[in-house]
Structure 1
Amino acid sequence: GPYCGNVMPVPKEIILDSNEAMIHFESRSHVSGRGFLLSYASSDHPDLITCLERANHYTKAEYSRYCPAGCRDIAGDISGNVEEGYRDTSLLCKAAIHAGVIADELGGQISVTQQKGISHYQGIVANSIPSLDGSLSDKRFIFTSNGCNKSLSLEEGFLSKSQITASSYWEETNEFGQLFQWSPDKAWLQVPGLAWASNHSSNREWLEIDLGEKKRITGIKTTGSGSTMLNFNFYVKTFTMNYKNNNSKWRTYKGILSNEEKVFQGNSNPSDIVLNNFIPPIVARYVRIIPQTWNQRIALKLELMGCRIMQANSSFTHSMWQKPSQSTETSLGKEDRTVTEPIPSEETNLGLKLTAIIVPILIVLCLFLFSGICICAALRKREAKGLSYGLSSAQKSGCWKQIKQPFTRHQSTEFTISYNNEKETPQKLDLVTSDMADYQQPLM
C-alpha cells in the first residue's frame, strides 16, 4: 500500500508469505459514515463471497459459491423459506443458513438455482433466523437439495401411538366436567387439535419417538399448543435432543464445533412453526426432545424431517456435512462423529439377517466335523502307542532305529531326552552338531 480508489488501485492479486494479514483503514469525514466492505478469497476457496451478497447480484441461472462462517447475525433481510424459495433480494449466505444448507459456525459451499418469482413469500423462523414475508418479485432462488428433508411421519403414514411416548401427560377437566387428555400421540404436527403437554413443569420431562429403524434425521419442526387463549398459551422456548439405537445408551446432540450439548431455539408463540436443522444429521432409531424453557406449561407439536438410510448414497454427502479441517476436527467428540457414521442399507441388513441364520448352521457342521477328526486322531494315537510299547519291550537298546517314519533334519538347539526307567541312568543326547540323518521320529 497505500491504496486509494482509482488513484492508487488495489492490485488484482496480493501474495502473502504468512497466514495473517493486518489491514489499516483510514478514511476522511463522510456524511453517511458507512465505512467500507472487505472481502477476500484464497486458493482453497477462490469462489468465496461475503455475507452481504444478494442473489440479484448474479445473472446466471445456476451457480455455486462458498459462504464464510458467521453470516447469521449480519444485518440484512431475507424473505421466503426453503420449500418455496427465497426472494432474489435476500442475502445469499444468510438464506443458506436459514435453509439448513450450511452451518453458521463453518460456512460452506452452496449451489443456487434461479427461477421465476412468485406472488408471495412466506416467512418463518428457522435455525434462529427469522425470514420476512415478501411481495411479488421477478426472480427467486432455491438451494440444490439432497432430498433428505421429507416428513418422516408422512413417509410411513402416521406412526402408531406406541411409537411416541412421554415422561408424563396432562389430563384437564373443564368447567363442564369434560376430560381432555394432552397425550403424546397428539404431538404430531399433522394431527389437528390438542398438543402433547406434560403433567409437570421441569426439565426432566421428555417426549420420545421410536422410528422403527435407523433413519437419517436432518431437522425438526415444532409448534406450541396452537391456542390463542391466555389460559392455554403453552409452548417450548428452548430444548435439547437425545438419541440412541438398539441396546445403546442415550447420547446428547452436541454443537458442531464444541463438546457441549446444543440448545435449540424453539417457539416464541403457541401457533407459529419453527424449523431447526441438524448439522450433522442424526442417525438413530430413537430420539428424545427434552424441553429446557417454556411458557406457562410444556406443550409441543412436532414433525421430524429426514429420510431412510438406503436413500443416503455418495451424492448425499453435502459439503456442509463433510468433516471440518484438522484444526476443527479436534473439537469434535466421539459422540459427534458417530452421528454421521455410515449405516448399512436395508438390503445389507437383510443380508446380515440371512448370515445370522446360516453362520450358526455352518458352525454346528464344523463342530461335528472337528469332533469326528479328533476322535479318529485319538484312535490312531492309541494304536500307535500300543505299537511303540511293543517295540520297546522287545529291543530297548535299538529302539530309535526300529521306527520307520522319516525325520526331517532341522537346525536345533540343545535339548535333553530322559528315560523313566529307574534301572538306567539318564543319558544326554547332544543334537547340535551330530548328524541327524540316521535318526527317525519317535511316535511318542
Structure 2
Amino acid sequence: MRSCYFGPVLQPKLGDDPLNVYRWMLQSVQNGCRKEEERSHMTPTPKYQVCPYAAPLGMESGAIPDDSITASSEWGSSGYEAVKARLNTQEFSGSAGGWCKKNSDRTPWIQVDFVSKVHITALITQGRDLGETPVYNWVMTFTVEFSDNGLEWSAVMTAGAVPLESGNTDSETQATVTFAETLFARYLRILPKTWKDECCMRFEVLGCRLD
C-alpha cells in the first residue's frame, strides 16, 4: 500500500473530534495520490519542440541581408567581405569564395544579427571555395557564442557542459554541427581558433523563426 500526501500536517487541537481529524488526513492522502497519478500521465516535452521544423535561416538564400553579417576584420580592400561567408559562395574574378580575416587579426570572429530572436539548432560550415586556381583555406576549429544584445555573449556548450568546438577538414565539404540545446537568441557568432593557411569560411545557420 502506498501513501501520498502533498501538504502540511495539522496537529489536532485540544477538544477536536479525533474522527474528523482522521477523515481530513485520509482525504489529503487521497488527493495527493491523484495529483501524483496526473503527473505520471503527462506527455514529456520533446527536446526540440520549440523548433519542430529546423531549416536554413537565410545565409545561402540571401534572406539574411548583407548588413546583418559582420566580422572582426576582412582581408584586403575588397573581395573577402563578411557577406562572402554565405554557404556555397563561389569564387570568381575579383571576389573570393568566402570570408577571410586580416592576417593581423589574432582574435577573429564573424556574426549574424537576425534582428529579432530566433531558435537556432545547428550550423553548416565550409572552407573557402577552391576557384579556378585552387586555394586551400578552411577553419579547422571554431567555437560559437550567442547573444541577445550583441554586447554580452555566452558560449554554446556541449552536452558535457564544455564549450562546443567544431570545424572543417577541407575547403568544399559541408560540416554540420548540431547544438546540444536549441538556442533562442538574436545574434550568433563564430570564433575561428585554428585554420589551414588562411582563416576563411562559409556557413549557414539552421533553426526556426516562430513569429
Q: Same fold by TM (over 0.5)?
A: yes
- Consecutive unaligned residues in structure 1, runs of 5 or more: 1-108, 110-145, 173-179, 311-345, 347-444
Query: What is the Cα deviation at residue 284 of structure 1?
Result: 0.6
Query: What is the Cα deviation at residue 161 of structure 1?
Result: 1.6
Structure with greater strand share of residues: 2
The answer on 1:290 being equivalent to 2:191 is yes
Q: Which has the higher contact order (CA 8 A, sep 6+)?
A: 2
Is the Cα–Cα contact under 8 Å of residues 169 and 197 in structure 1 kept in the other structure?
yes
Aligned-residue CA RMSD (Å): 2.7
Is the Cα–Cα contact under 8 Å of residues 148 and 218 in structure 1 kept in the other structure?
no
Change (3 A) 1:305 1:247: closer
2:138 matched residue in structure 1: 235
Change (3 A) 1:201 1:297: farther
Secondary structure, aligned partner of 2:58: helix
| 2-structure distance, mates of 1:227, 1:156 | 21
The answer on 1:150 being equivalent to 2:40 is no
2:164 matched residue in structure 1: 262
**Which AA in structure 2 matches 1:275?**
T
**What is the aligned residue count?**
158
2:202 matched residue in structure 1: 301
Secondary structure, aligned partner of 2:168: coil
| 1-structure distance, mates of 2:110, 2:76 | 16
Query: What is the Cα deviation at residue 149 of structure 1?
Result: 1.9
Structure with greater helix share of residues: 1
- Consecutive unaligned residues in structure 2, runs of 5 or more: 1-45, 92-96
| 1-structure distance, mates of 2:132, 2:169 | 15
Taking the TM superposition and a 5 Å limit, the aligned residue runs for 1:113-192 are 147-153=52-58, 157-171=62-76, 180-192=78-90
1:105-156 CA-to-partner distances (Å, cap 9, x unmatched) read xxxx9xxxxxxxxxxxxxxxxxxxxxxxxxxxxxxxxxxxx64320000698
1:207 matched residue in structure 2: 110
* TM-score, structure 2 as length reference: 0.67
Is the Cα–Cα contact under 8 Å of residues 244 and 284 in structure 1 kept in the other structure?
yes
Q: Which has the larger radius of gyration?
A: 1
Structure 1 runs, 4 residues or longer, greater than 6 Å off? 228-231
| 1-structure distance, mates of 2:195, 2:151 | 30
Is the Cα–Cα contact under 8 Å of residues 203 and 292 in structure 1 kept in the other structure?
no
Is the Cα–Cα contact under 8 Å of residues 188 and 302 in structure 1 kept in the other structure?
yes
Taking the TM superposition and a 5 Å limit, the aligned residue runs for 1:293-332 are 293-308=194-209, 310=210
| 2-structure distance, mates of 1:184, 1:291 | 14
Q: Percent same amino acid at aligned positions? A: 27
Change (3 A) 1:246 1:276: same
* TM-score, structure 1 as length reference: 0.33
| 2-structure distance, mates of 1:148, 1:238 | 28
Query: What is the Cα deviation at residue 247 of structure 1?
Result: 6.7
The answer on 1:249 being equivalent to 2:152 is yes
Secondary structure, aligned partner of 1:182: coil
| 2-structure distance, mates of 1:166, 1:269 | 22
Change (3 A) 1:286 1:191: same
